[in-house]
Amino acid sequence: MEYEQAREEEQDNNAPLIHSEHQKRRETAKEDEICLFTDAAISAKMKRTGQGIVARNWKGKIMRAKGIVNQYKGVPSKEEALAIRNAILMAKHVGWTKIIVHSDSKSVIDQINRSNDYEYNIATILEDVQELRTHFESCRFVFIPRSENEISHTLTQFAVKLVYDIEWEQDFPSWLMVLVRKEMMVVALFCN
């Protein structure tokens, strides 16, 4: 609960700026860029963590999705950083060369974009992220509010209940496609 409260407060403080930043991001995504949306969740009750990664092309079409589960009690910033690193590893494995990584963890995104002064508990993970980003023609990291990261958040909630990791490349579950269509309709209304 503390984790969720801290994230909500972080998002509320940045709400006016976030809306204009998100609108700008939608306009600047290029045809050959893949947008990776990441999120992480912790279930203290089950002593598990989950990560959700959703890859979409510049038009919003879902390209790949992955749910990752770990059997331990996690730390929020570490889990968010791991989700970002796993998204980059997935993109590298698939062969994408231009990516934009979106996360609703402002502190982790800020640390990545500053490229130094990392929190001690995630320093090694963020150093990995910095090294991995060199394998891409273009690799950007962008903070988005939770309200714009609902698909990966829902996937994360699903992942935390899994026994094994799961990944989809072409045939996506219907509940995931419903969320994508719903979001695309909202974006279409917003942009028109």
pLDDT score recorded for residue 18: 41
pLDDT tens track, the chain, 192 positions: 566 556 556 655 554 444 444 444 444 568 889 999 999 999 988 889 999 999 999 888 999 999 999 999 889 999 999 999 999 999 999 999 999 999 999 999 999 999 878 989 999 999 999 999 999 999 999 999 998 999 999 999 999 999 999 999 989 999 999 998 888 775 544 443
d(CA 77, CA 107): 8
pLDDT score recorded for residue 176: 93
pLDDT score recorded for residue 8: 59
pLDDT score recorded for residue 45: 85
pTM across the whole model: 0.82
d(CA 133, CA 111): 14
pLDDT score recorded for residue 51: 97
Domain with 91 in it: 2-191
d(CA 160, CA 150): 15
User: Residue 21's closest CA among 141, 178, 120, 138?
Assistant: 141
d(CA 30, CA 25): 10
- For residue 4, give the 3-state DSSP assignment: helix
pLDDT score recorded for residue 4: 58
d(CA 93, CA 87): 10
pLDDT score recorded for residue 73: 86
Number of domains forming the structure of the chain: 1
Q: Name the residue type at position 185.
A: M
pLDDT score recorded for residue 11: 55
72 phi, psi to nearest 5 deg: -160, 165
Angle of CA points 156, 162, 166, to nearest 5°: 75
- What's the CATH code of the domain at 51? 3.30.420.10
